[in-house]
Amino acid sequence: MVAALDAAGVPFMLTGSLAAAFHGAGRATMDIDLVIDPAPEQLRALVAVLAGTGAYVSAEAAADALANRSMFNVVDTTSGWKADLIVRKTRAFSETEFARRQSADFEGCPLWVASVEDVVLAKLEWAKLGASARQLEDVAALVRIQAGQLDRAYLERWITDLGLATQWAQVAGDARP
């Protein structure tokens, strides 16, 4: 997937459970979450590269995702692994989050990963939307594991701006060192 993104020139970052694992809070997952920020021609190139590898990808779903700033899926037909490709939103937080992505080596693969604070915030947002309790468990684990290194002022700013105080309160007491 990273090779396809690079070949198409699509800026991206790993997020979700694999990004949480990168930052120390690993758990089993069946998909890969990537935020992408493509121009239309880059997206068309990405779809072509992926289709050429035998992966399942819908050009129509990809174009719709770009137009609506939503997501589309790519499935590796050999392994069954699914990648959720999330087109970066245009809101201030999403722009800041993407600008803060970090270059990393993930099991020998160079890629871009969301910062630990941004993984926490994204998981709080998913929890607010009614996603599984695992999101809050991941947040609690990340806060415990990264306690001394978290940018608390950054977290507090975006927790307030994004309306995530309720979700944060659900984990903050248990997660604080």
pLDDT tens-place string over residues 117-159: 999 999 999 999 986 788 999 999 999 999 889 999 999 999 9
- What pLDDT score does 134 carry? 86
Q: Which is more confident, 10 or 108?
A: 10
Most confident listed range (15-24, 27-36, 110-119): 110-119
Extract long-range pairs of 75-80: CB within 8 Å, 24+ residues apart.
Answer: 78/54
How far from the centroid of its chain's Cα atoms is residue 76's Cα?
Answer: 19
Give the predicted TM-score (pTM) of the model. Answer: 0.90
The CATH number of domain 2-172 is 3.30.460.40: yes
Q: Are 152 and 119 in contact (CB under 8 A)?
A: no
pLDDT, tens digit, 9 for 90 and up, residues 26-71: 776 778 999 999 999 999 999 999 999 999 999 999 999 999 999 9
Domain residue limits, the chain: 2-172
What is the distance between the alpha carbons of residues 41 and 21, in angstroms, rounded to a whole number? 32
What is the distance between the alpha carbons of residues 68 and 140, in angstroms, rounded to a whole number? 32
